[in-house]
Amino acid sequence: MDFIDRLRNLSARIPKLQESGVVKTEEGAKNALVMPFIQALGYDVFDPHEVTPELTADVGTKKGEKVDYAILSEDKPIILMECKGFGVDLNTVHASQLYRYFSVTEARFGVLTNGITYKFFSDLDAPNKMDETPFFVFDLTSFRDQDADALKQFSKGAFNQQAIVNTASELKYGRGIKAFIAQQFSDPSEEFVRLCLKDIYSGRFTQSALEELTPITKSAFRAFISDQVEKRLKSALASETTDTDEHETVDEDTVAENTNESESADETTESKHETTQEEIDGYLTVKAIIREVIDVKRVSMRDAKSYCALLVDDNNRQTLCRLWFNRSVKYIGILDESKNEEKYQIEDLDDIYKYAEQLRARASHFVADPA
């Protein structure tokens, strides 16, 4: 099992723990999630030379205080961890012990966690003094592949202190920039409106002018983002949906026979394979459903005459499902292990979620047996 699979398995525990309510204390969070998280990073939680619980590091007049976990290398702390109760809002607490211990150990990284979210700190602002804000935040319930790649730097096999410090600034300030953009996207500040219009607007930036220009700026910003997303999506699909007649190995008549339905002549003899927005949306919906089961980077779309096939590893022998949208009555076709296709009629794209279990079951087949 690779690193990201270990994280996904750990992530899958959280909804059950939240629903059952059995984890209510800090110790419960440690046992159920924090220790398995450390293990997922490759460290042996039962070897005190690698992971020391309740590390004592006296600070000034404070004696006998303990940090919850210290991850060691050559018997020296490299990562300190302070744990809070399961699901506690980390924005409302301060990593006090972590902050104090940071200056008296050789560790360059501190982690504040509630078992779900892990905030990583370093000393980017002042040497040997832990920063007030984290340079990296990892959430087990909503991480992306690039988040897992960043986290992997802290794993036992990949840990390189200087390399992480070198990239920490990029992570920290990149995160801050994205937060700023998100804020301006939803509620543009006066300074942002002025910046956007300084070379365009020739009038004075009076209060009434700003009140008029702010919603215009907000609308233009949203339109720009939407345009960029659409361009990227079309570009990606263009590389995935090149002419497929020469690649398509499933004969249309065979498909009709497998599904016990015959297609009309005008549907099966179309010469144009134009990918519609509805097919694109269906493709994205399916990827959203199966992303917890399989790496969605492996899933691509291939447009055929009568349907769009969603393939794993761009292999037409590894069909995940088919979108039969080029007709008045729309279907999603999901294949079983024998490659027999079951068609399900849908009224709109939201109906695809009714068949999430079947889609995940089909996707899991390629995780276990890619062939």
CA angle 357, 363, 365 (to 5 degrees): 110
Least confident piece of the model among 268-272, 303-307, 311-315: 268-272
CA distance 100 to 82: 11
Q: What is the mean pLDDT of the chain?
A: 81
Name the most confidently modeled range: 109-118, 127-136, 320-329: 109-118
CA distance 100 to 354: 52
Least confident piece of the model among 9-18, 98-107, 280-289: 98-107
Q: How confident is the model at residue 238 (pLDDT cuts 50, 70, 90)?
A: low
CA distance 315 to 298: 10
More confident residue, 167 or 39: 39
Domain boundaries, the chain: 3-178, 190-240, 252-368
Residues 278-282: what's their mean pLDDT?
A: 87
Q: Which of 209, 179, 183 is nearest to 194 (CA)?
A: 209
Residues in the chain: 371
Q: Residue 10 in contact with residue 36, Cβ under 8 Å?
A: yes
DSSP symbols for 48-95: TTTEEEEEE--BTTB-S-EEEEEEEETTEEEEEEEE-STT--GGG---
Give pairs for 273-278: CB < 8 Å, separation 24+: 273/241, 273/243, 273/244, 273/303, 273/304, 273/305, 274/303, 275/237, 275/241, 275/301, 275/303, 275/308, 276/325, 278/325, 278/349
Q: Which H or E run includes 132?
A: none
Residues 166-183: what's their mean pLDDT?
A: 81
Q: Residue 111 in contact with residue 121, Cβ under 8 Å?
A: yes
CA distance 109 to 133: 12
At 63 the pLDDT is 60
pLDDT at 269 over 70: no
CA distance 285 to 279: 10
- Cα 350 from chain centroid? 21
Residues 67-81: what's their mean pLDDT?
A: 90
Q: Residue 259 in contact with residue 333, Cβ under 8 Å?
A: yes
pLDDT at 278 over 90: no
Residues 95-115: what's their mean pLDDT?
A: 84
> Residue 187 burial by CB count (10 A; 0-12/13-18/19+): exposed, middle or buried?
exposed
At 155 the pLDDT is 92
Residues 121-128: what's their mean pLDDT?
A: 87
Residues 118-125: what's their mean pLDDT?
A: 91
pLDDT at 206 over 60: yes
At 140 the pLDDT is 92
CA distance 130 to 110: 8
Q: How confident is the model at residue 120 (pLDDT cuts 50, 70, 90)?
A: very high
Least confident piece of the model among 118-132, 197-211, 242-256, 323-337: 242-256
The token duo for 332 is 């999603």
The token duo for 118 is 């892990």
pLDDT at 309 over 60: yes
